Chain A
Amino acid sequence: MRILIIDDDKNIVEVLTKLLLQQNYVVDVAEDGEVGWEFVESLQYDLILLDVMLPKLDGISFCRRLRERKNQALVMLLTARDTTTDKLIGLDSGADDYVVKPFNIPEFSARIRALIRRGSTHALPIVTCGDLHLDTNMHEVAYQGKPLKCSRKEYLLLELFLRNQKRVYSCQEIIDHLWAFDAEPPNNSTVRSHIKNIRRELKSVGADGFLETVYGQGYRINPLFISATNDQKVVQRAQNLSKQVGKQEILDLSVTEIWQQTKGLSLERLSVIQQFLETIKLGIFDETLYQQTIHNAHKLAGSLGMFGFDSGSTLARRIEVLLQVESQFLLKSQPADSHNFVKQLELLVIKLSQELTDPIKVSNNVIVAATDTPQLAATPNTISAKIFLVDHDLQVQRTIKTLLETLGLQIVCLQEQEHFWGILRSSNPDFLILDISMPINNGLALCRSVRQNPDWNWLPILFLTANDDFSTRQQVFTMGGDDYVTKPIVVEELSTRILNRIKRIESIRNKIEIPDAKGEFKS
């Protein structure tokens, strides 16, 4: 559970922070309304403790703006004003509770617990998954009655998974949920280390395989445990699967490394084929080069599929077969006369070249390979939405377009920002993807201008960025971005992030029955 305190009274902030940390909440602090607003635009909070008399942006205006932006975080107003009128104004602004200072600490804690319970049907004091029980009052976790030894972060991590039992969390999402904003964010290896500790602890109490890796996406509770009882067969099956998935993951990563080390060889083979094509287009036939081309096509056909480039293997095979079929003609006749042959060969070579130089596919061959595993079978998408993609790289555009269209989403692409506003208005999208480093005016500036536009400031924005450093992440969120994906893009991750965010918006719309961006009410 993540809580934001917005209060300029340092003493109160200190007391509240200490109290909430003791109760295992993740806490961020903002000293004025504007800073607080930046926080809520950057991260998703379960509860906001909001002082009414705040510098720069007062609590009532803050709360109204929050609700206008469809932010459904729970809000508890903290104030010294205790008249009925003040309370009514506060609650009418969209707050969920109203606490008058000075407050009684035990009562205040109980109010927070009650508020969170009201806000979420999942926020029960004891959370259970199969035989695993987490007691939020006692801060204890036990499997089949055997207690687990966990650090505070590991306890919070388990709570996060237990409260969202079917959800996959990436390392970054875990960081976003469990680390305070002002703290130096950990890197992914810290999260992995916590996961490793939890797994070891779970294994020691007989729950090996409880947390599983979903390749390319993150971690989740092994579905077999969600409904598991004391059935040892189920537990055994889960444990075996977990070991197999672990091996597969290690193998996939290692194969990717080999591809990185040896891809030059494949590109050299491609260049031999390209060279043959160029000479034959000029009407020159070199028999040695021809034999080398067949040999290299054969080698590519036999190796590319190993790295996940299945269609690359098929294309190379077609080139090999085409050259062999035409050998008699090539060796005895004038090859340049054969217009169809050259056209066919050229088309195959272009496609193969695209396959091997596509920045997304090249960097994600393992993801392609991993889709063979049953747990990654694509979930049918039932969402219909329009995505607006602004990226100066046409190849990235093409690949993302293909991916999203296969998910049933509509996509509008733009390379130059010149016509951004015109296309935004005419296409009326549900989601915006921006490349962070575009020529002329970078994506961050474009994001800021979207956020400043009252007609479009609600639009979810996801950034594509080559940098994953703290400063870039900070900039993305400060400028109003909702999410970001680092290049090279992991295709599964991109689609999951987009679909999750669109689903979230849909569910909020349905819950509160507000009109969508096009002014229409959901039935």
Chain B
Amino acid sequence: MKGKRILVIDDDEDIREVAKLSLEIMAGLDVILARSSYEGLQKALSEQPDAILLDVMLPDMGGVETFQQLQANPVTKHIPVILLTAKVQASDQRHFASLGVLALIAKPFKPAQLAQQLLTSLGWAECPANLPKSPQIFPN
């Protein structure tokens, strides 16, 4: 997947770094990091990534609102968004899925599996037998 760029927006340094490593090492993706919603929106506009991995619990405006702002902007509307969430209740997951995000990946994710989950949800890789194909909700 050389040449594809992913924007990871998460306020936790450890999660940002592990996600970056996973995507770079396991899938050869280029990763851009942002630590807040505001920084993420700025980078989505300026960098035009191929996909965004977005944390739900962000301190400034939260992942859901960030997603809605991305959708509202014609420059970023086309960028597929995958939510990262530690909220595991089915009702939460259904709510997030109904917003129009491409997929949900549950925290804590396994570093070795994150890249595969992301590639699968983006349609950049075939879904392995041990991963759910539909809906695109990846439990931890």
Residues of A within 8 A of B (CB): 247-248, 250-252, 254-255, 258-259, 262, 265-266, 298-299, 301-307, 310, 313, 317, 369, 372
Contacts and interface: CB of A to CB of B under 8 A. Distances in A.
Contacts, number: 72
Majority secondary structure, A binding face: helix
B25 A258 contact: no
Interface residues of B, number: 20
B110 A262 contact: no
Contact of B112 (A248, A258, A262, A307): A248
Given A265-B13, A313-B108, A369-B111, A302 B18 contact: no
B111 A303 contact: no
B21 A306 contact: no
A305 B111 contact: no
A306 B112 contact: no
Contact of A265 (B14, B22, B25, B86): B14
Which interface residue of A248, A250, A251, A310 has the most chain B CB atoms within 10 A?
A251
Given A251-B26, A265-B14, A303 B21 contact: no
Nearest to B56: A302
Interface of B: 12-15, 17-18, 21-22, 25-26, 57, 86, 88, 107-112, 140
A319 to B, nearest CB: 13
Contact of B12 (A247, A259, A303, A317): A303
B108 A372 contact: no
B21 A251 contact: yes
B109 A306 contact: yes
B12 A254 contact: no
B15 A306 contact: yes
A264 B13 CA distance: 12
A303 B108 contact: yes
16 contacts: A251-B26, A252-B111, A252-B112, A254-B21, A255-B111, A258-B18, A262-B17, A302-B107, A303-B12, A305-B108, A305-B140, A306-B111, A307-B18, A310-B108, A317-B88, A369-B112
Contacts of B22: 251
Nearest to A306: B108
A105 B21 CA distance: 59
A98 B108 CA distance: 66
B68 to A, nearest CB: 22
Nearest to B15: A303
A365 B21 CA distance: 16
A250 B111 CA distance: 11
B21 A258 contact: yes
Contact of A304 (B21, B26, B108): B108
A252 B107 CA distance: 18
Contact of A306 (B13, B14, B25, B88): B14
B14 A262 contact: yes
A255 B86 contact: no
Contact of B25 (A251, A262, A299, A301): A251
B10 to A, nearest CB: 10
A9 B67 CA distance: 83
Contacts of B88: 317
Which interface residue of B15, B57, B111 has the most chain A CB atoms within 10 A?
B111
A247 B108 contact: no
Contacts of A252: 111-112
Given A250-B25, A306-B18, A299 B108 contact: no
Given A303-B12, A306-B18, A251 B111 contact: yes
Contact of B21 (A255, A301, A302, A305): A255
